[in-house]
Amino acid sequence: MTDTASNPPAARTAEDRARESELSAVGRFLKATELDIRMLGMVGALLVIWFGIHILSGGLFLTPRNLWN
């Protein structure tokens, strides 16, 4: 056990509110949904790879049949 006092999560300071107001709409969305930016980067990289293969295969990769099976 420690002797330090911790702030309860419900108690927000004026500094926290000011910091949140400085965030952009995307920043507020990411914070509200708790999405990890690294995960979004990996999903983006996967989409780039899929579209790259689709273009190199002449449009055969991203077809309904390949996406369903």
**Rounded to an integer, what distance in angstroms lies between the CA atom of residue 68 and that of residue 7?**
50
pLDDT at 31: 83
CB 23 within 8 Å of CB 31? yes
**Rounded to an integer, what distance in angstroms lies between the CA atom of residue 24 and that of residue 59?**
37
The amino acid at residue 8 is: P
Collapsed DSSP state (helix, strand, coil) of residue 12: coil
pLDDT at 66: 85
Look up the pTM and report it.
0.54
CB 27 within 8 Å of CB 20? no
Q: What is the mean pLDDT of each run of 10 residues along the chain (69 residues)?
A: 62 66 81 85 96 96 88
pLDDT at 42: 96
Helix and strand counts by DSSP (H, E) for the chain: 4, 0
